[in-house]
Amino acid sequence: MQPGIALFLATLLSVHPLWAGAQAAEVTGSATLHTEASARGVLAGAQLVLPAQATGGVLYAGPLKDAPAVAQARKVPVVLFLHGSSGLGSKAIAEWQQWLGSLGIASLAPDSFALADRVTYKSPVSKAVYERIHALRSSEIGLGLAALQNLPWADTRRLVLAGTSEGAVAVARHGGSEFIGRMIFSWSCEDNYFVESPQTAVLPGQPVLNVISAADPFFSSANTWLGNPLAQGHCARAFKNHPDAGVLLLPGAPHTVLNARAARQAVRGFLLDLFGP
């Protein structure tokens, strides 16, 4: 290697630590704005679990478009859930939603991949790409809320917003007062490679639960291209003056923590306290 090239690469690594140990950027697709058609698809294909209390019979798990008619059933609390970058194909999400159903809690997970040619990526990519995705995911909160307003089983006074990883960024940034609480899974609310800035929205009096692996492969110091040597790997700093926020760190857990026993225990207590009997 020529001395000049070697010096350039050494300088690049020292100025941009994200490059050190990083994978090659990989982006496919081009769409980052929902169309009228994809907005309908986001909800039609949304993964829904209705507890027996809502159906008047047995638990329903399937797409929203195929949900049983339950006009006379009892209203139940709802978790609006934003999936991560792998979409609704994750078995962990289905298991978690059905577990919520066993507690008498409905959950609705919009399908972001209803958008044709939606951008997907293999991290790390540019922050500009991530921010376009974050804006897309934020728009899905409004779509989900609009749907819940018209569903007879949804108790819109008892709504919680939740998300994991990519979806959790939109949850952390949401500044609306439509929800009585938020759950942020597998996101650290910090400056790093994934955002231009965290933009965490702190609403006074709104309870928040953050659950993340203590060695998260993307957002803790275990990631060699995290891009923030001072990162703590969780949301405690973002909510340091927020007495209704809690952080649960799971030692040795993988990136997806939804079904870890300690995570379920924390979620159960958080939701039952919010929703009441």
Q: pLDDT at position 71, please? A: 64
What would the mean pLDDT of 68-85 be, rounded to a whole number? 90
* 1 in any annotated domain: no
Q: pLDDT at position 25, please? A: 66
* 3 in any annotated domain: no
**164-181 tens-digit pLDDT:** 999 999 999 999 999 999
Q: pLDDT at position 244, please? A: 95
What CATH number does residue 115 fall under? 3.40.50.1820
Are 144 and 46 a contacting pair, CB within 8 Å? Answer: yes
Catalogue the E-assigned strands of the chain.
26-28, 47-50, 60-63, 76-82, 106-109, 120-122, 154-164, 181-185, 208-213, 245-250
What percent of the chain shows pLDDT beyond 90? 86
**31-63 tens-digit pLDDT:** 999 999 999 999 999 999 999 999 989 999 999
Residues 6+ apart with CB under 8 A from 264: 99
SS3 content of the chain, % helix, strand, coil (to 5): 35, 20, 45
Measuring CA to CA, which residue among 171, 164, 192, 181 is closest to residue 260? 164
- In the structure encoding, which two tokens stand for residue 91, read together? 């078995």
What whole-number distance in Å separates Cα of residue 188 and Cα of residue 166?
11
Domain of 71, in residue numbers: 18-275
* 174 in any annotated domain: yes
- Assessment of whether the complete model's pTM goes beyond 0.85: yes
Measuring CA to CA, which residue among 127, 122, 258 is closest to residue 197? 127
What would the mean pLDDT of 147-152 be, rounded to a whole number? 95
Q: pLDDT at position 23, please? A: 47
Residues 6+ apart with CB under 8 A from 217: 223, 254, 255
**220-229 tens-digit pLDDT:** 999 999 999 9
Residues 6+ apart with CB under 8 A from 63: 44, 45, 46, 47, 48
What would the mean pLDDT of 129-146 be, rounded to a whole number? 98
* 235 in any annotated domain: yes
Domain count of the fold of the chain: 1
* 8 in any annotated domain: no
**241-276 tens-digit pLDDT:** 999 999 999 999 999 999 999 999 999 999 999 998
- In the structure encoding, which two tokens stand for residue 42, read together? 């986001």
What would the mean pLDDT of 125-153 be, rounded to a whole number? 97
Alpha-carbon 54 to chain mean position:
25
Q: pLDDT at position 60, please? A: 97
Are 237 and 198 a contacting pair, CB within 8 Å? Answer: no
* 10 in any annotated domain: no
**89-102 tens-digit pLDDT:** 999 999 999 999 99
Measuring CA to CA, which residue among 67, 74, 10, 14 is closest to residue 43? 67
What percent of the chain shows pLDDT beyond 70? 90
Q: pLDDT at position 55, please? A: 93
* 30 in any annotated domain: yes
Average pLDDT over the chain, rounded to whole? 91
Please check the confidence at residue 117 and state whether its pLDDT lies above 80: yes
Are 229 and 17 a contacting pair, CB within 8 Å? Answer: yes
* 90 in any annotated domain: yes
What would the mean pLDDT of 194-223 be, rounded to a whole number? 96
* In 22-126, alpha helices (H): 36-44, 52-55, 91-102
Q: Which comes out higher in pLDDT, residue 18 or 107?
A: 107
